[in-house]
């Protein structure tokens, strides 16, 4: 694990909500930029790289070889990510309360985990192929929080049951959630991105 922060900032219209890009396993601080640009063309964009390495692939928390997750590490890395978001938004003079998270897979998972387990500044998220890593320990009040979440019915990583549980946890916490289920796997498609775009237009 490195102590350095790897982040990338792409300026935009400062009057628009900044977008925080959280990559999937093997991504980095800027690999979601084409997707972020498609969804939020004029918005300022910030990417933060996860500091865990899985055989050279960047992640936000440790996954063991048997596929199980290191929940202690998840907690620790969530604290690190939330602190880093605070530091980086200050550094680039971004309003952390307006932040819209754009998370894919591992990045979406840590964002959803953070919402259900910690106080967070960000309240809006596009969660692409998220899963629930562990059921939350306590009930949080997420009223005023909004998410658009996608699921693929032939995804070998996220089961429908797991995805539905995550959506229920968010909804039980009073978050407003729009779910998009599609015939696809654990990758991004034009169809889901267009659905995300329509949701974003109504924010």
Catalytic residues: 105, 155, 186
Pattern of binders to ligand MLT over 116-155, x per CB under 6 A? ----------------------------------------
Note whether 157 binds ligand MLT by CB under 6 A. yes
The bridge status of strand 57-59 relative to strand 100-104 is unpaired
Q: Which of 17, 18, 20, 25 binds ligand MLT (CB under 6 A)?
A: 25
Q: Which of 12, 24, 47, 50 binds ligand MLT (CB under 6 A)?
A: 24
Nearest 5 degrees, angle CA 122-CA 124-CA 128? 115
Output 64 or 87, the one with its CB closest to ligand MLT. Answer: 64
Note the residue count of the chain: 203
Binds ligand MLT by CB under 6 A, chosen from 7, 89, 109, 120? 109
Nearest-CB residue for ligand MLT? 106
Q: Does 63 bind ligand MLT (CB under 6 A)?
A: yes
SS3 for 164? helix
Sequence-distant (6+) residues with CB within 8 A of 38 are 193, 197
CB of 136 to ligand MLT, least distance (A): 16
Least CB distance to ligand MLT at residue 178 (A): 21
Residue closer to ligand MLT, measured from CB, 98 or 189: 189
**Short-list 102, 199, 105, CA closest to 152:** 105
105 touches ligand MLT (CB under 6 A)? yes
Rama region for 34: left / alpha / beta (φ>0; ψ in -120 to 50; rest): alpha
Comparing CB distances to ligand MLT, the nearer of 78 and 106 is 106
- Beta carbons within 8 Å of 88's beta carbon, 6+ residues apart: 5, 7, 9, 46, 48, 94
Q: What angle do CA 199, 190, 56 make, to 5 degrees?
A: 105
> What residues line the site for ligand MLT (CB under 6 A)?
24-25, 63, 105-106, 109, 157
């Amino acid at each position: 694990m490195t102590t350095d922060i790897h982040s990338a900032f792409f300026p935009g219209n400062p009057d628009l909500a900044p977008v925080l890009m959280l990559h999937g396993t093997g991504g980095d601080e800027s690999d979601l930029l084409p997707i972020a640009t498609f969804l939020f063309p004029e918005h300022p964009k910030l990417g933060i790289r996860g500091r865990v390495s899985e055989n050279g692939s960047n992640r936000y928390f440790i996954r063991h070889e048997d596929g199980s997750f290191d929940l202690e590490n998840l907690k620790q890395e969530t604290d690190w990510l939330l602190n880093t978001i605070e530091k980086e938004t200050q550094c680039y003079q971004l309003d952390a309360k307006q932040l819209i998270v754009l998370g894919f897979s591992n990045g979406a998972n840590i964002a959803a985990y953070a919402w259900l387990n910690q106080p967070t500044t960000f309240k809006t998220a596009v969660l692409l192929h998220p899963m629930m890593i562990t059921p939350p320990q306590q009930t949080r009040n997420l009223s005023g929080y909004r998410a658009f979440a996608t699921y693929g019915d032939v995804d070998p990583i996220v089961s429908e049951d797991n995805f539905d549980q995550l959506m229920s946890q968010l909804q039980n916490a009073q978050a407003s959630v729009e779910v998009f289920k599609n015939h696809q796997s654990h990758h991004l498609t034009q169809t889901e991105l267009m659905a995300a775009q329509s949701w974003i237009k109504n924010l």
